[in-house]
């Protein structure tokens, strides 16, 4: 399918392009704010999923969007339309520590209303499902490897951890990548309206208007936005089991991050700490 391919920018948060729960909404908000020079008043009536429609969900919106359009997807590289695989658009790819991705999975399932009966509700079951790659978008390391090793041109790799540590620097990198020039005041505007506090209380970004999909009495769609929250959920045994499984899967995939391991254990050759 080549019908969605124009020489616009495609923003795919790991996630988010990116795997699920790698900071998708955050990157959607960031890019849309950069496009309007940090002036949130120009987005006051536009929900996140309308600012950057989903390639796999909102095909007609993608086709009708005016240039320069921004599209979101979780699709692995091998399933992207052919022209996009050939580099017809700019891609921002977001990665996040898979342990924190898993925690976000767990909390998302808790608020999701319509879900199959076999969707796990206990953390241990969600962990096992994740390790087995039981996701619509495949196993995490395969998704990341597919994109990072794709040789895709016009490609910007951003990590959730970088966004948490120095958001201003990430915004400026994205601006450079998108050939967008913002003043310091405009960068501050982007930062203000893409903060987790702002997104959590903004009905256009917190999904509170989608009551048919989410039961927000059981938790927030925009949650903590913290790096390393997995430490509040994994037991030592679960963490070690996860590390063993991913040590081999991550071999040869060099991410510019450190994967936290217990001090007594050998440091993993590759990984990410989110």
Residues belonging to the active site: 74
Query: How far apart (Å, rounded) are the C-alpha atoms in residues 56 and 64?
Result: 15
Spell out the residues 6+ positions from residue 123 whose beta carbon is closer than 8 angstroms to its own. 106, 233
81: three-class secondary structure by DSSP: coil
Count of alpha carbons within 13 angstroms of residue 101, beta-carbon side: 32
Whole-angstrom Cα Rg for the chain: 18
Instruction: Give the closest residue to 138 by CA, choosing from 1, 42, 20, 10.
Output: 20
Based on the number of CB atoms within 10 Å of its own CB, is 247 exposed (0-12), middle (13-18) or buried (19 or more)? middle
How many other C-beta atoms can be found within 10 angstroms of the C-beta atom of residue 27? 30
Query: How far apart (Å, rounded) are the C-alpha atoms in residues 150 and 128?
Result: 28
Instruction: Give the closest residue to 227 by CA, choosing from 128, 104, 139, 121.
Output: 104
């Amino acid at each position: 399918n080549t019908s969605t391919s124009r020489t616009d920018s495609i923003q795919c948060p790991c996630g988010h392009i990116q795997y699920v729960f790698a900071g998708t909404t955050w990157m959607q908000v960031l890019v849309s704010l950069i496009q309007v020079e940090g002036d949130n008043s120009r987005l006051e009536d536009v929900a996140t999923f309308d600012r950057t429609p989903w390639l796999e969900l909102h095909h007609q919106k993608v086709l009708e969007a005016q240039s320069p359009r921004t599209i979101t997807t979780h699709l692995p590289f091998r399933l992207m339309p052919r022209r996009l695989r050939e580099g017809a658009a700019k891609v921002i790819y977001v990665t996040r520590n898979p342990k924190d991705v898993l925690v976000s999975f767990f909390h998302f399932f808790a608020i999701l209303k319509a879900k199959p009966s076999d969707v796990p509700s206990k953390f241990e079951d969600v962990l096992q499902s994740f390790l087995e790659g039981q996701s619509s978008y495949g196993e995490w390391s395969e998704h990341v490897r597919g994109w990072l090793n794709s040789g895709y041109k016009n490609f910007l790799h951003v990590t959730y951890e970088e966004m948490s540590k120095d958001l201003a620097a990430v915004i400026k990198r994205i601006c450079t990548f998108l050939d967008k020039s913002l003043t310091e005041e405009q960068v501050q505007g982007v930062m203000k309206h893409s903060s987790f506090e702002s997104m959590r209380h903004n009905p256009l970004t917190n999904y509170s208007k989608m009551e048919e999909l989410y039961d927000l009495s059981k938790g927030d769609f925009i949650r903590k936005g913290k790096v390393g929250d997995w430490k509040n959920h994994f037991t030592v045994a679960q963490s070690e089991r996860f590390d063993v499984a991913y040590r081999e899967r991550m071999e040869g995939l060099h991410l510019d991050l450190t994967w936290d391991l217990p001090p007594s254990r050998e440091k993993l050759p590759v990984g990410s700490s989110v």
